[in-house]
A and B are shown apart, each in its own frame.
Chain A
Amino acid sequence: MGAQQAWLLAAIPAGMFLVLALFGRYLPRKGDFLGVLAIGTSFVLFFFVLHDFLHVGAGNWPITTSIDWSDVGNFHLRQGIYVDPITIVMLGVVTSVGLMVNIFSVGYMRGEARYYWFFAVLQLFVGSMLMLVMADNLLLLYMCWELVGLCSFLLIGFYWEKRSATEAAKKSFITTRIGDVGLLIGIILLWKATGTFNIQDIIHQAQAGHIGHTYLFVSVMCIFLGCMGKSAQVPFHVWLPDAMEGPTPVSALIHAATMVVAGVYLCARLLPLFEIADGALLVVTIVGLVTAVLTGFMALVQTDIKKVLAYSTIGQLGFMFVALGCGRPDVAMFHLMTHAFFKSLLFLGSGSVIHATHHNQEMDKLGGLWKKMPITGTTFLAGCLALAGVIPFAGFWSKDEILHATETWSGGWVFILLSFAAVLTAFYTTRLFIRTFMGEHMDDEVYEHTHESGFTMTFPLIFLGILATVSGFVVWHGVGTALGFPGGITEFIFLHEPERYHFEWALLGASVLIFGIGIFSAAWLYWGNSTEKSTRLAQWNPGLYQLLVHNFYFDDLYQAVIDRGLLGFAFVVAWFDRYVVNDTGIDGSAQATRYSGFIMKYAQSGRVPNYAMGIALGLVGLTIAGLVVRG
């Protein structure tokens, strides 16, 4: 079992999907243990792959294997897997978080209707996501991209008896679909220019200068549209908060750790292309920056704990895109990894809270839960500290590296704006923690019934909590080599050359300032879980407050566009279809035929001399025509 068999990691969960979908209903315990078993196997096999990968040494990277898929005329297509350091990181993240979510779901989803289907789709999702990160050509990647989108749709709409859930599922699918159209166009454009779908071939051809720069820019931007859609960047971010209608384990796995980072992964994978196309990296940076700042603002006023985390996810994805825009895929993947751990931890923690309080998600009803749920509270605290970027938790190291990477852009404006977004992050994270776990409880009845969750739910929390604390240290050279890597994570993944991590005191000072301001201002505002001061702050500028509460009116804008624009256009098209296509084209041609028959029937006079005249005329006519043609 080596890196070349890495595709097994994807095949096992995908196969288990079929088993669970077909037979899950009839299995004991509805087959949930099979789901855990499948992903657990993938998780174990990942270590074999990792060991083999590190064993063969950096000289042999990347490791690939492929099969001949289609060979028709001039069109040759090979499908296969491509395992390089970026892939290894993604495989580790997806299998570990997937396993934890699966274990958590056993406790969280117990007693729910369609229990077996939940696990089935979860397996399909993990299988598709794993294949996505291993795909060596854009076609396979696109297929897996759509598959994960499908699984997201199915799982968001899991509680389809609720109208809001189905609406959210539709919204997610349509919004990402708009981005996916861009992705498809980009793929086709690249294929037209290079004649191949293989990612590495395309990159080599672009680096050799075979693709025109404007053409490359356009196709790369089209592909980036797909990344924006899937990773919920502004203006495609509207689906992710609504996606919280799905069960919380789904939010943890798909909308925090794995599916939404597919856009980041694709961008990191194709970063050499972005580099060659002038201006592409700037676009990426700006998009990420705008997203980070805007969603930071939007998260400030949310009262649903899951919504806060959703906006936080979008913002952190913005951070990752800024890192990519600075040309540092290693930093982006590093933040992706730490974010996956602490964000899924936070989501699972909130799931634990929701389960314990019998589906109470509003912070107005929560508070003071730490005494009642110590394990959840402690792990949640670890996650919050990681998210806020407090040393020595994982988030600090990755966020620090991103801030360091922004020095690529002269003028420091990226650094300043990103720091501001980081302050906002620390603020709302602290607000979230205080209002949920600390101070006075807001609702007696909810508080009475709350209790700590069972082992299936606390075990993943502890596991992820440990990871959220220590996973940041892999940036150090010493830690990396001790684990068998060639160095820290910035030496493992790199765009052009490995860069060893150096600790900078100035940056540490800036980071401490950032999270310090954020945490202390939030703590002061909400001390003891009182909303007095925050309410007064909201009334100080009601317009601004309304703007934030309505999420900068993005949803209203889109709805207006659909109502006026799309439906108006549909009206025109319907008119065209009824009157032009149907009445004129279809009915019209039928009527024309009938009418022509009505006229031509008079040729059948029944009189033989008439027919004979016809023959004679034809004969004469043909003779003349023949003579004329012959000249």
Chain B
Amino acid sequence: MATEVLWWIFAVLIVAASAGVVFSRSVIHSAIFFIGSLAGVGAMYAFLNVEFLALVQFLIYAGAVTVLILLALMLTRSGATGSPEKTDGPQKPFAIIVCGTLMGILIAVAVHTTWPGNASDKPTGIAIDAISNRLFLDYGAPFIIASALLLVALVGAIILARQEEGE
């Protein structure tokens, strides 16, 4: 019972934070709301008894990724600090319609479908050794490729963002 209430609180939190991300007029405010959204999703993972993922989410997403984005935000500010720059594009009304439709469809499908198997209230726990078994044994190859991908991305990012001589 308590967990349920807690769940709803976090759910509202996530939605509010996400709305804040996309509707905020200030870029920095969006970034802060973003952290809130990520943290909320991490909490969701915890509710699903996948603590490992919650940890990963907090560390990498809410931690590293957000910092990276904030860094880039700092570097790409144009004009004097504090002056509001226009953040919303000309497609705003149309986008509201499209995304609203999308949301409506997805919710309708999710609610109306009878999910098979264990669709009861309680999510079963996922042990961490199960995750590690699956990750390193069955999906070992994709894991290694993903790490190679990360390496390439890093190198690429460095090359792209490097300052040339005399720039």
Direct contact of A and B (CB under 8 A): yes
Interfacial residues, chain A to chain B (CB-CB below 8 A): 609-610, 613, 616-617, 619-620, 623-624, 627
Query: 17 A-B Cβ contacts within 8 A?
Result: A609-B91, A610-B91, A613-B94, A613-B95, A616-B95, A616-B98, A616-B102, A617-B98, A619-B102, A620-B98, A620-B101, A620-B105, A623-B102, A623-B105, A624-B105, A627-B105, A627-B109
**Least Cβ distance of B128 to chain A in Å?**
36
Q: Which residue of A lies closest to B98 (CB)?
A: A616
Q: Which residue of B lies closest to A613 (CB)?
A: B91
Q: How large is the interface on B (under 10, 10 to 19, 20 to 34, 35 or more residues)?
A: 10 to 19
Q: Please report the C-alpha to C-alpha distance between residue A540 and residue B105 in the assembled complex, in whole angstroms.
A: 106
Q: Please report the C-alpha to C-alpha distance between residue A623 and residue B89 in the assembled complex, in whole angstroms.
A: 26
Interfacial residues, chain B to chain A (CB-CB below 8 A): 89, 91, 94-95, 98-99, 101-102, 105, 109
Q: Please report the C-alpha to C-alpha distance between residue A627 and residue B91 in the assembled complex, in whole angstroms.
A: 27
**A616 with B89, Cβ < 8 A, contacts A624-B105, A627-B105 known:** no
Q: Please report the C-alpha to C-alpha distance between residue A613 and residue B89 in the assembled complex, in whole angstroms.
A: 12
Chain A residues with Cβ under 8 A from B101's Cβ? 620
Most buried by B among A609, A610, A620, A623: A620
Q: Are A613 and B105 in contact (CB under 8 A)?
A: no
Chain B residues with Cβ under 8 A from A613's Cβ? 91, 94-95, 98
Q: Which residue of A lies closest to B100 (CB)?
A: A620
Q: Please report the C-alpha to C-alpha distance between residue A613 and residue B109 in the assembled complex, in whole angstroms.
A: 23
Q: Are B91 and A620 in contact (CB under 8 A)?
A: no
Q: Please report the C-alpha to C-alpha distance between residue A617 and residue B109 in the assembled complex, in whole angstroms.
A: 18
Choose from B89, B105, B109 the contact partner of A609 (Cβ within 8 Å): B89
Chain B residues with Cβ under 8 A from A627's Cβ? 105, 109
Chain B residues with Cβ under 8 A from A609's Cβ? 89, 91
Q: Are B105 and A616 in contact (CB under 8 A)?
A: no
**Least Cβ distance of A628 to chain B in Å?**
11
Chain B residues with Cβ under 8 A from A610's Cβ? 91
Chain A residues with Cβ under 8 A from B94's Cβ? 613
Chain A residues with Cβ under 8 A from B102's Cβ? 616, 619-620, 623
**Least Cβ distance of A610 to chain B in Å?**
8
Chain B residues with Cβ under 8 A from A616's Cβ? 95, 98-99, 102
Q: Please report the C-alpha to C-alpha distance between residue A627 and residue B113 in the assembled complex, in whole angstroms.
A: 13
**Least Cβ distance of B51 to chain A in Å?**
33
Most buried by B among A609, A616, A627: A616
Chain A residues with Cβ under 8 A from B99's Cβ? 616
Q: Please report the C-alpha to C-alpha distance between residue A609 and residue B90 in the assembled complex, in whole angstroms.
A: 9
**Least Cβ distance of B88 to chain A in Å?**
11
Q: For the complex of A and B, list the 4 residue pairs with the smallest distance between their C-beta atoms, beginning with the closest.
A: A616-B98, A620-B102, A620-B101, A609-B89
Q: Please report the C-alpha to C-alpha distance between residue A619 and residue B94 in the assembled complex, in whole angstroms.
A: 15
Q: Please report the C-alpha to C-alpha distance between residue A610 and residue B101 in the assembled complex, in whole angstroms.
A: 18
Q: Please report the C-alpha to C-alpha distance between residue A384 and residue B89 in the assembled complex, in whole angstroms.
A: 109
Known: A620-B105, A627-B109. 20 other contacts (CB 8 A): A609-B89, A609-B91, A610-B91, A613-B91, A613-B94, A613-B95, A613-B98, A616-B95, A616-B98, A616-B99, A616-B102, A617-B98, A619-B102, A620-B98, A620-B101, A620-B102, A623-B102, A623-B105, A624-B105, A627-B105
Q: Please report the C-alpha to C-alpha distance between residue A624 and residue B109 in the assembled complex, in whole angstroms.
A: 11
Q: Please report the C-alpha to C-alpha distance between residue A623 and residue B105 in the assembled complex, in whole angstroms.
A: 8
Q: Please report the C-alpha to C-alpha distance between residue A620 and residue B89 in the assembled complex, in whole angstroms.
A: 21
Q: Please report the C-alpha to C-alpha distance between residue A624 and residue B98 in the assembled complex, in whole angstroms.
A: 12
Q: Please report the C-alpha to C-alpha distance between residue A619 and residue B102 in the assembled complex, in whole angstroms.
A: 9
**Least Cβ distance of A1 to chain B in Å?**
83
Chain A residues with Cβ under 8 A from B91's Cβ? 609-610, 613
Q: Which residue of A lies closest to B106 (CB)?
A: A623
**Least Cβ distance of A565 to chain B in Å?**
66
Q: Which residue of A lies closest to B108 (CB)?
A: A627
Q: Please report the C-alpha to C-alpha distance between residue A613 and residue B105 in the assembled complex, in whole angstroms.
A: 17
Q: Please report the C-alpha to C-alpha distance between residue A617 and residue B91 in the assembled complex, in whole angstroms.
A: 12
Q: Please report the C-alpha to C-alpha distance between residue A344 and residue B119 in the assembled complex, in whole angstroms.
A: 107
Q: Please report the C-alpha to C-alpha distance between residue A620 and residue B105 in the assembled complex, in whole angstroms.
A: 9
Q: Please report the C-alpha to C-alpha distance between residue A623 and residue B107 in the assembled complex, in whole angstroms.
A: 13
Q: Please report the C-alpha to C-alpha distance between residue A610 and residue B109 in the assembled complex, in whole angstroms.
A: 28
Q: Please report the C-alpha to C-alpha distance between residue A171 and residue B46 in the assembled complex, in whole angstroms.
A: 100
Chain B residues with Cβ under 8 A from A619's Cβ? 102
Chain A residues with Cβ under 8 A from B109's Cβ? 627
